[in-house]
Amino acid sequence: MAPSSFLLSVLLTLAALHGTSAVEYVVDNRATNLPGGIKFDNEIGADYARQRMMTASEYIWRLFQQNTEADRKNVARVTLVIDPNMKPEDIAYASNNEIHMGDNYINRIQGDARGDDFNGVLYHEMVHIWQWDGNGASGIGGLIEGIADFVRLKAGYVPSHWVQPGEGNNWNQRSDVTARFLDYCNDVRNGFVAELNKKMRTSYSDQFFVDLLGKNIDQLWREYKAKYGM
């Protein structure tokens, strides 16, 4: 790492201190000789990406009401990898505190490379770094993805291809449908998604919706659809 990059990493780590633990944000461009990697260096840049990773973390902590170190996952380092080995159609995924973005995806970004597209994907994947997953509970992948898109929605990075409020055939049809439904639930009870995430720290049950909102998911879905005349 160049001295200037190292200094920035240190400064960002210090800036991430809010009386709790520090998080180091690292960018690893493994596609420096490929079109997407070149575009990343020229139009986005490691410094900007690290700053946005830090901003996303702080936003997620506030939205999830994770105000203390004890509320959060114990993550010391988050790495953004510009990955040349992903399938051309793939965008990004998070695993083991690493976010992998495909260099082909970076190369496909239209317009401002630092705009809503990049930031929306980054926010979505940063949620996966910090959210609770029911302690590995099975069958909740749709909800996990929906919560990540809910955060993207609240942060204002909604892509044009998403469904509109009220659309969809089932609450967990796909992540944008789930995000819109969760936004409705969050309007029913302010802070619902934060409370749901907290409950998912150790397990998951559909009963959580009843515990927090007094209604089961099917009833909530019907009322959500009725609100929009669907």
Instruction: Give the angle subtended at the CA of 123 by the CAs of 53 and 15, to the nearest 5°.
Output: 25
**Whether residue 166 sits in one domain with residue 123:** no
**Whether residue 126 sits in one domain with residue 25:** yes
**Whether residue 122 sits in one domain with residue 158:** no
Residues 6+ apart with CB under 8 A from 224: 166, 171, 181, 184, 185
**Whether residue 157 sits in one domain with residue 73:** no
In a domain, 3, yes or no: no
- pLDDT confidence of residue 21: 54
In a domain, 9, yes or no: no
Classify residue 142 as exposed, middle or buried by CB count within 10 Å of its CB (0-12, 13-18, 19+): middle
Distance CA 148, CA 81 (A): 19
Distance CA 148, CA 128 (A): 7
Domain final residue, candidates 130, 158, 184: 130
- pLDDT confidence of residue 17: 44
- pLDDT confidence of residue 93: 98
- pLDDT confidence of residue 18: 44
Single-letter amino acid, residue 20 = T
Q: How far is CA 49 from CA 40, 110, 127, in A?
A: 9, 17, 15
- pLDDT confidence of residue 226: 98
pLDDT tens for each residue of the chain, 230 residues long:
444 454 455 455 444 444 345 999 999 999 999 999 999 999 999 999 999 999 999 999 999 999 998 999 999 999 999 999 999 999 999 999 999 999 999 999 999 999 999 999 999 999 999 999 999 999 999 999 999 999 999 999 999 999 999 999 999 999 999 999 999 999 999 999 999 999 999 999 999 999 999 999 999 999 999 999 98
Domain final residue, candidates 77, 109, 130: 130
- pLDDT confidence of residue 221: 98
In a domain, 6, yes or no: no
Instruction: Give the angle subtended at the CA of 33 by the CAs of 29 and 34, to the nearest 5°.
Output: 85
**Whether residue 30 sits in one domain with residue 78:** yes
